[in-house]
Amino acid sequence: MVKYLSNEGYQFSYFTRGEPGSRPSVLMLHGFSLNKDMWLNTIEVFPKDLHLVCLDLPGHGGTTRLLGESYTAVAQAKRIHQFVQCAGLNHKPFHLVGMSMGGMVAGVYAALYPAHISSLALFCPAGVRYLTDSEFFAQLRELIFSKGSVENAVIPVTEEQLENFIKLCLYHPIFLKIQVKYSLHENMRKIKAPTQIIWGKGDKVFDSSGAAVLAAAIPNSQVHWLEKCGHFITLERPRTSAKLLLEFYKSVYDSAEQKKVA
């Protein structure tokens, strides 16, 4: 069921299924330029009584888009915190899932609001610093960098100049900072929740080596690399990724229950 929640003049659009219960609710954050519908194939195999919330991130889908607003990962996390409080998800820790840009935002959220998170799942998240460009960004730089003479009108040579050039190509350049900053890398050591990292080995947007970088920084983490899978995990491996997600969710919940009994 699609619902809308308004707070202080700001509207959030989200899909919800099931009701809050003894198990943690699951909040899912989509990737850049997508919306909550990207999770539909994944959640098909989820138990129908599991409380799910798939949110349209600020600036996407039916959630408010404000051209003057900051859309950095930290700003997004703070907006999601606003939603969490208004939706009542803050009453007990929940399981947070994010893919690509949504994975970066989810990781930053877990670092900023650790008391809210029972566990975390990151699907090929953005915001990790690499020693070399991925194939996607290498080709982007090749397209943008001029190989001509210095008299050419546009010859970006620094990250700032590259960013400024890409802004010229975007209708809403405010979204650019979501992609080019390393917000997750800067916050990954603050993540305390049990964390699952899922990455396609064939990802050409964000290289799968990012999984090892995150796993080395997050104490209680596990990594799953998917063979013959690119960046859009939820499209290419919806059932496999859903199964992995559910197994991890159940293992964390069962472990927490055992500790309570002990």
Q: Which residues are catalytic?
A: 100, 203, 231
Query: Do the Cβ atoms of 57 and 37 come closer than 8 Å?
Result: no
Exposure of 262 by Cβ count < 10 A (0-12 exposed, 13-18 middle, 19+ buried)?
Answer: exposed
Residue identified by tokens 């803050």 is 90
- Which of 97, 112, 115 has the alpha carbon at shortest distance from 248? 97
Pairing state of beta strands 221-226 and 26-29? unpaired
Query: Do the Cβ atoms of 137 and 162 come closer than 8 Å?
Result: no
| Cα 1 to Cα 6: distance, rounded to the nearest angstrom | 17
| Cα 131 to Cα 173: distance, rounded to the nearest angstrom | 26
Query: Do the Cβ atoms of 175 and 71 come closer than 8 Å?
Result: yes
